[in-house]
Amino acid sequence: MLELRGVSKTYGLNGQRVTAVADVTLSVAPGEFVALTGPSGCGKSTLLHLMGAMDRADRGEIWLADQPLHDLGEEELIQVRRRQIGFVFQFFYLLPTMTVEENVELPLLLAGVTCHLERVAALLEQVGLSHRARAYPATLSGGELQRAALARALVGRPRLIIADEPTGNLDSDNGGRVLEILRGLAGREGVAVVMATHSAEAAEVASRVLRMRDGRVQT
Ligand code: ADP
């Protein structure tokens, strides 16, 4: 599903080079739920950005299914992000002027997909938010916001979910609920999930834990 071969990423900062990701080789199979852990600054976010086609590696290859992300042009990468990858972040990033339902529908509208109301309703049901479909984000709790963001990430049927500290702003009950949804997706629907987390509880729910240190994934 997702394969990285010898991937490195270096940033230039104040004339100095910082190696954020160093020679990472790994693969994630369909249905796997992988937790990426490690101290702050070890490269988790950078690695997620590379996997999610949000940034380019300096070296190495990244394959999503049979597509070489390292070889694709900007336009093609945008299409891959829109159609094949779902993103979940610590700060939910719902649009405040749209209802929950409209936020969830938005990726489909952007992708030019029509006839999507049933899909949106089914997802809101799946994440336990049917009763909040017409509400605005400002009136939702943190847990509800993250479940809405999850529904939005899933609406286009992505093959890969990239989650950066998805429980970082939630109490343990709400965090647990979000993790259960992610685990269910991986288990039942064969979606690959890669989640960066500081939380030991979150890592425990994953099917595999990758530990990072100084830009490297420890084996
Ligand atoms: P983590 O997510 O594990 O906290 P990051 O991937 O954010 O780690 O950062 C890895 C390293 O790369 C750190 O040393 C960080 O300071 C550096 N870094 C991250 N993003 C940038 C950037 N845009 N410009 C310069 N340095 C960066």
Query: What distances in angstroms separate CA 47 from CA 10, 22, 126, 205, one per listed residue?
Result: 11, 10, 29, 21
The pLDDT value recorded for residue 74 is 93
Phi, psi of 55 (to 5 degrees): -150, 160
The Å distance, Cα 50 to ligand 1 centre, comes to: 12
The pLDDT value recorded for residue 33 is 95
The pLDDT value recorded for residue 13 is 77
The Å distance, Cα 93 to ligand 1 centre, comes to: 21
Tokens of 30: 């369909």
Q: Which residues form the pocket of ligand 1, taking CB atoms under 6 Å from any ligand atom? A: 11, 13, 18, 20, 38, 40-46
pLDDT at 2 over 80: yes
The pLDDT value recorded for residue 82 is 86
pTM given for the model? 0.91
- CB proximity list for 130: less than 8 A, separation 6 or greater: 121, 124
- Tell me: the pLDDT tens digits for 50-94? 999 999 999 999 999 989 999 999 999 998 998 899 999 888 889
The Å distance, Cα 40 to ligand 1 centre, comes to: 9
Instruction: Determine which residue's CA is closest to atom 13 belonging to ligand 1.
Output: 41
Mean pLDDT of 187-213: 90
- Tell me: the pLDDT tens digits for 112-146? 877 678 889 999 999 999 999 999 999 999 999 99
Alpha-helix runs per DSSP H in the chain: 44-51, 74-84, 100-110, 117-126, 142-154, 172-189, 200-205
Using the structure block, give the residue that is written with the tokens 């990726």.
Answer: 107
pLDDT at 165 over 70: yes
The pLDDT value recorded for residue 115 is 67
How much of the chain, in percent, has pLDDT values that exceed 90? 72
Residue pair 177/167 in contact (Cβ under 8 Å)? The answer is no
Among 14, 21, 46, the mutation site with the greatest number of ligand 1 atoms within 8 A of its Cβ is: 46
The Å distance, Cα 43 to ligand 1 centre, comes to: 6
The pLDDT value recorded for residue 12 is 86
Instruction: Determine which residue's CA is closest to atom 1 belonging to ligand 1.
Output: 41
Please indicate whether residue 188 or residue 62 has the higher confidence score (pLDDT).
62
- Whole-angstrom distance, CA of residue 139 vs CA of residue 107: 22
The Å distance, Cα 111 to ligand 1 centre, comes to: 31
Among 10, 11, 198, 211, the mutation site with the greatest number of ligand 1 atoms within 8 A of its Cβ is: 11
